[in-house]
Amino acid sequence: MLKLFTLYIYLETLLCGCGPDKRNSDFATLRSEYNIKIERIGKLDKRISESSGLAFASDTTFRTHADGGPLNELYEFNLRGGLLHTIKLPLKNNDWEDLAQAENGQLFIGDFGNNFNTRQNLRIYKLQQNLAQVQDTIRFRYADQLAFPPARRNRHYDLEAFFYYADSLYLFTKSRAAKPITQLYTLAARQGNYTLTPQYRLRLKSPITAAAISPAQNQFALLGYGRLYIFDHQAKNINLTGKRYCLPLGRTGQAEAMLYLNPTTLLITNERGKLYLVTISPKN
């Protein structure tokens, strides 16, 4: 059933572009102010079974992971998709969905996938710099989720997207309801057991599968099936209410991981291991 729902959303996105988002959520069309280039640049080594999150390993190499099952590993690869290293972690992969990274390179793993909206053991792992051990375990629950699962129309508590900013983690939920929304939650990037209240809610046509903040930290992006949402924000005030843009991505498949390589370029991977670069530069 979930696969059929995903296929429906993806086909609808491919056919409809960003029109429904512009009508429902006051999105501008990104192409009206920016030059856009979308290109496929390669495919991940077949030994990398899946790509659900992205982070830097170095300036030119990257880390990714599978999103569940027995594979408690990080895979380091280059822009050609070549596998460089496999790092086994001392963690269980219940449902790893995304990676976040502090300015010093410290890595966070989001073990918070919640397809059926039934999980009550949501957590984020903060790893030591050498990746050998877990430094902190950050546990949380949603204050507004009262049933496990809630009624189908209220199943907004899956989660596949987050990023680090200013000692906090910003979480963007993935809705599995017929009318998708994303909710923004924030929590401290340190050990604790948190109850989270939604700070913002936004109606979107596509469920959110990844999030990333730009190097200048004045912009962040949310990834959906066939769509990229860009948000401008003022320093220290990340929200969903500022100026925002929508970009149809076309045939990028079930894309679930994203990373800013520089202020104008994003790397995107999909579940089949295909690599894409999206270049966004202001028009003169």
pTM of the complete model beyond 0.85: yes
- Residues 6+ positions from 14 with CB-CB distance below 8 Å: 226, 250, 251
207 prior amide bond cis, ω within 30: no
pLDDT given for residue 55 in this prediction:
98
Using CA atoms, how far apart are residues 269 and 42, in angstroms rounded to an integer? 10
Q: Is the CA virtual torsion 233, 235, 236, 237 positive or negative?
A: negative
Length of the chain: 284
User: Among residues 245, 251, 261, 276, which one has the least CA distance to residue 35?
Assistant: 245
Helix (H, G, I), strand (E, B) or coil at 88: strand
| Cβ atoms < 10 Å from Cβ of 18 | 25
Q: Tell me the HSE value of 114 on the side-chain side, using a 13 A CA sphere.
A: 29
- Structural contact between residues 122 and 112, judged by C-beta atoms closer than 8 angstroms: yes
- Residues 6+ positions from 25 with CB-CB distance below 8 Å: 202, 203, 204, 244
Residue found under tokens 């991981």: 257
User: Among residues 275, 201, 219, 222, which one has the least CA distance to residue 33?
Assistant: 219
What is each CA distance from 281 to 177, 184, 220, in whole angstroms?
34, 27, 15
Using CA atoms, how far apart are residues 186 and 74, in angstroms rounded to an integer? 25
- Structural contact between residues 182 and 222, judged by C-beta atoms closer than 8 angstroms: yes
Phi, psi of 105 (to 5 degrees): 95, -5
pLDDT tens, N- to C-terminus, the chain (284 residues): 445 445 544 555 454 568 667 665 667 777 778 899 999 999 999 999 899 999 999 999 999 999 987 789 999 999 999 999 999 999 999 999 999 999 999 999 999 999 999 999 999 999 999 999 999 999 999 999 999 999 999 999 999 999 999 999 999 999 999 888 999 999 999 999 999 999 999 999 899 999 999 999 999 999 999 999 999 987 678 999 888 999 999 889 999 999 999 999 999 999 889 999 999 988 87
Instruction: Extract the tokens encoding 143.
Output: 């204050």
pLDDT given for residue 236 in this prediction:
76
pLDDT given for residue 282 in this prediction:
82
List the Cα angle 67/73/75 in 5-degree steps.
95
What is each CA distance from 55 to 58, 122, 188, 258, 266, in whole angstroms?
9, 21, 20, 8, 12
Exposure of 169 by Cβ count < 10 A (0-12 exposed, 13-18 middle, 19+ buried)? Answer: buried
DSSP state, 27? P
Instruction: Go through the domains of the chain in sequence order and give each one's CATH number.
Output: 2-282 (2.120.10)
